[in-house]
Amino acid sequence: MKPVILIPTYNESTSIVELLRSLEELHQKRDFDVVILDDNSPDKTADIVQSLKLPWVEILRRPGKAGLGAAYRAGFAHVLPLGKYSKIVTMDADGSHRVADLPAMLDATDDKLSITLGTRWMPGGSVVNWPKSRQLLSKSGTKYARIALGIPLNDLTGGFRVYSADLLNKLKLTQMTATGYCFQIEMAMAATLAGAKLVEVPITFVERINGVSKMSRAIVIEALWQTTLWGLSRRLRPNADKLHYVK
């Protein structure tokens, strides 16, 4: 049993090669696989990855852009039935998640039901090249979600995570609908409802240099609205909420 890293891509040709080269250095020390979840990138990201001919990297070609949540759910559905992965990592393709932080996250816990978050907003964590306004938005989003959902985590919107395969197999992933960054909040909420061990590891988040950020006002509004609905549901129908997410 080994880890697998899921990396969603859409027009990441300028950054994916550098990321895979960094992962290749780590791969010489640790065994893991990588699955690229490409949403039919017009810039031929998938073809570029294929040209590298890395035997531990697989490409899952999807028909089109359908959002972060849809890409990850497709990745989960692809790797979990194989039964050969103990941990599933979610990681951005743009270089904002450092490979240097990955070993500590993988080694943080071996609990069968666990979620490990790479956390920016805790002692030892930091961000690089982010304006104060973006930092405030991220911190405020997490604070609101913590209060609304009662989840004791410091970085609910971050996407650098390690899920145990047992946890993902216990969740009703097909019942989840979040598409944008609120997918991260939904997964943390579901993990909490499943009784998973919650672990946080400080990371350094580096704002992308190449390419274009996928963040938009619509994504922020979706996350705010959906979190509010989830919060109300958890207070009014807590048992129904757990039945919705946990097998």
**According to the model, what pLDDT value does residue 145 have?**
84
**According to the model, what pLDDT value does residue 218 have?**
67
**According to the model, what pLDDT value does residue 219 have?**
64
Q: Is the dihedral of CA 27, 31, 37, 40 positive or negative?
A: positive
- Bridge-based pairing of strands 161-164 and 114-119 is antiparallel
Exposed (0-12), middle (13-18) or buried (19+): which is 81, by Cβ within 10 Å? Answer: exposed
CA distance 116 to 106: 8
Chunked in runs of 10, what are the mean pLDDT values of the chain (247 residues)?
96 94 96 97 96 97 91 97 97 94 97 96 90 82 85 91 98 89 90 95 84 58 78 75 84
Question: Which of 247, 158, 163, 244 shows the shortest CA–CA distance to 198?
Answer: 163
CA distance 207 to 209: 7
Q: Check: CB of residue 91 under 8 Å from CB of residue 97.
A: yes
Give residue 196's identity as a one-letter amino acid code: A
**pTM of the predicted model as reported, rounded to 2 decimal places:** 0.91
Write out the two tokens for 228.
Answer: 């509010």
Looking at domain 2-245, its CATH class is: alpha beta
**According to the model, what pLDDT value does residue 210 have?**
58
